[in-house]
Chains A and B, each alone.
Chain A
Amino acid sequence: MAREAQNIKEDFYAGDSKQILVTVYDQNDNLFDLAGCEVSYAMWHPKTEVIVLQKSSTDANQIEILNPTTNGVFAVNIKPTDTVRLNGEYRQQASIVDGSGNDVIVMTGRVMISKSFARRIRNDSISAYMLGT
């Protein structure tokens, strides 16, 4: 069921709020019913294999299986703090465990995250003093 080349090559900037939509198909290329499935997602650095982001559908704020489940679509919710310090090319994968306990990778691909510079900035200051003797 793995679909290669689910790549995000542009328009993904560090600190963005983003939703990655994934459609799952069975081995016959039919939409897969995600009812009762647990979905996991990971993003990692391709050379160091350090995982930089992980999400799970056990928390609907992280991964949401969209209704109706028969459409086979889940959404990975990326928050600004998830990627604010990332920059460069990463790999991504998503897997599901269905109601029968079958565990399978359903999506892989590359993700290009670009630095973002145009973010709202705030600064402030206070005065200090000291007397040396």
Chain B
Amino acid sequence: MASSGKRLNRVFAHIILTAGAFACLIPFLWMVTTALKDPGEAFLIPPKWIPWPVYWSNFVDTWEALPFGKFLFNSVFVTLSITLGQLICCSLAAYAFARLHFRGKTVIFMIYLSSMMVPAQITMIPLFLLMRALNLYDTYYALILPGLFGSAFGTFLLRQFFLTIPSSLEDAATIDGCGPFQIYWRIILPLSKPALATLGVFVFMGVWNDFMWPLIVISSPEKMTLTVGLAAFQDFYTSYFSFLMCGALISVIPILVIFLFSQKYFVQGITLTGMKE
């Protein structure tokens, strides 16, 4: 009696889950088919699902229509730079907040926390003006500098994690004559690999997919990131859906690949942000 109820639950669950999975994946499948089809066949009714023959030339045409190679390079360069910068700067700062005692610590931490509440639109306008004033408008500096030195969020996340590391390890190290930096480098960092991986993955995703800031601060195509380049592509080739889907596919593949290899860190990151301290 109880087991058949459980089985019914499970069947029902599978139905819901499969429907959900279908709903999530179909748009992507549709994107792939459209990207690989003969451009003329994109407008067939009823729509043709299997792209045969496969028009790999769509990719070539898309790649050459706009500087997608540059877009890809820019996205990779900017994202890796900021991710590295954030990991370094946030972990250093987080260590200070978690383990070191200095005057003004609580006040500064409170200011950090309250800054997390301020939405990006407020700071975007002055930052835009700052970049223009420093003649850094439309440069890589404008893309990288604001995020390079870390964020309040990343510092907060790592601080929470560092606090969970038993201080006995550090005490032992101090007795052995280690200074704070060595403790940070030899003990805290190696033990924090999961938290660092999680933050890294989150920052990567955020910067890779960032649209509004690069849109505002870059005007020349050679410096555009994939998101902005893709939007510009759509402005020029509004109805060339085969090529548009090609472009979308190109911009989506890198993050999908990373996701497949680091799925658990994505999930971890989300649950971490969802847990109240």
A interacts with B: no
